[in-house]
Amino acid sequence: MNARRGIAGAAVLPLALVLGACGGGGPAASPGPTPDASPEAGRTTGTAAPAVPQAELDQRLRDAAWRDDVKAVRRLVRQGADVNAKDDTEQSAYLVATSEGYLDLLRLTLRNGARVNDKDGWNGTGLIRAAERGHALVVGELLRAGIDRDHVNRIGYQAIHEAVWLGEDTAAYAATVRVLAAGGVELDRVSPSAGLTPLQMARERGYDGLERILATMTTADLPADPDAALLRAAERGDADAVALALRAGADLEARDAHRRTALLLASTFDRVAVARLLVAMGADPDALDDRHDTPWLVTGVTGSVAMLEALLPANPDLTIRNRYGGLSPIPAGERGHVDYIRRVVETEVDLDHVNDLGWTALLEAIILGDGGEPYREIVRILLDAGVDPAVADRDGVTPLQHAQQRGYDEIAALLRR
């Protein structure tokens, strides 16, 4: 990888590359993974297994963190491993989670005493590490955990500087910059090493997208009514305006006349960039409006896989029912959203759930579909996912009988197999 050039031609190495030199760039920089001890390891009849030395336990934890093995990390923490314990390159399980973008791992370490403002070998916080890699969700999690937003590391960068100067003009970095701005970080400080503000850095790099975002954040007037501005921007899909409204103090859970939050509006109108920002900032995926819709439930109507993916990191409650008593796969089955069904069956949602009409997703795909290829594919996907084809409607009519009554021979054949 070529070194990027700073002002006056000075070489500026990407932090990921520099960290790699000191053990911070990934698993290759740490010792080979230490296999987790078997429950029977060292056990003899009638004697307890010898205690694992703390240093070895902590090393196993770091190895598991590099692998993003959350299950192993959870087990090791229960055994007494320290999420803050560092190796000789200043890497801990917590700091690994921040640089590698391991969101579930990060949440686990925070729940188990991670020192949120801990520093790496470059006197950088986890926020700086995450921003340099473009991990917007991790950035948001850390901001909400109370991390120092404006810390300057040993090479003269804040998180916002690293996101721009060492980042790229991509959607991931655009999301990261918006989250940082929405979270209230300083945007006008000159980096001591680069001699530039974040906006000047974006301009110097030729990053038009990041430059536009930063120009909006630093030159636009703050809205007089941040809550109203937030809701308007979410509905029309203006992620920059959403970030500006949040920076101005908008309530993340502000409601419109129909009790829709910004995230519900973003989901309804499929504003994915807005949803990613709001999720990173901690928006509630389960907020109900006056029609008993939530951001998650709406995805079953729109069939947006991109929105589904944007909402999953918020851990939506998959058991909340819509006004018809249904879960998201049911309207998706009715409307023929093949790609959505293909993705949602991989979640923990109940695919055999029966709504207030007495119908499952399988029944709706047959009763309200037209028997065409999209509906045939939905039936295939649901059956392959293990739905019960014997679940009948409230009148006792099975999916097979419905298919036969409608002359859907191919669907009937699928149901007989």
Average pLDDT over all residues of the chain: 91
Is pLDDT above 50 for 136?
A: yes
Please give the pLDDT value at position 249. Answer: 98
Q: What is the CA radius of gyration of the chain?
A: 25
Angle at 396 between CA 390 and CA 397, to 5 degrees: 70
Q: Given this model, what pLDDT does residue 238 score?
A: 98
41-45, 171-175, 180-184, 394-398: segment of lowest average pLDDT: 41-45
Answer with the residue of higher pLDDT: 15 or 283.
283
Residue 50 has what pLDDT?
67
b/e burial code for range 133-154 (CB count within 10 A of at least 16 → b): bbbbbbbbbbbeeebbbebbbe
Write the CB contacts of 298 (distance below 8 Å, at least 6 apart in sequence): 264, 267, 268, 307
Kindly report the backbone phi and psi dihedral angles of residue 12, in degrees, each rounded to the nearest multiple of 5, phi listed first. Answer: -125, 110
Task: Find residue 4's DSSP bridge partners.
Answer: 12
Per-residue pLDDT tens for 325-366? Answer: 999 999 999 999 999 999 999 999 999 999 999 999 999 999
Per the CB < 8 A criterion, the answer to whether 264 and 230 are in contact is: no
Q: What is the mean pLDDT of residues 369-380?
A: 98
What is the rounded CA–CA span in Å between residue 34 and residue 22?
20
169 has pLDDT over 50: yes
The pLDDT confidence band at residue 265, using thresholds 50, 70 and 90, is: very high
pLDDT of 28? 37
Query: How buried is residue 361: exposed, middle or buried, by Cβ count under 10 Å (0-12/13-18/19+)?
Result: buried
* pLDDT mean over 394-410: 97
Mean pLDDT along residues 38-47: 41
| Rounded Cα gap, residues 369 and 383, in angstroms | 16
pLDDT at 6: 36
9-13, 162-166, 349-353: lowest mean pLDDT where?
9-13
Confidence of residue 417 (pLDDT cuts 50, 70, 90): confident
Q: Does 8 score more than 80 pLDDT?
A: no
CA atoms of 178 and 140, how far apart (whole Å): 10
Of 16-25, 240-249, 255-264, 321-330, give the lowest mean pLDDT range: 16-25
Structural domains of the chain, with CATH: 4-34+53-219 (1.25.40.20), 226-304 (1.25.40.20), 318-417 (1.25.40.20)
Q: What is the pLDDT of residue 25?
A: 43
pLDDT band for 51, please (50, 70, 90 cuts): confident
- The whole-number pLDDT of residue 49 equals 58
The stretch 249-272 carries a mean pLDDT of 98
pLDDT, position 232: 98
Rounded Cα distance between 196 and 165, Å, is 9
Predicted pLDDT at 78: 97
For residue 411, is pLDDT > 70?
yes
Least confident of 25-29, 248-252, 329-333: 25-29
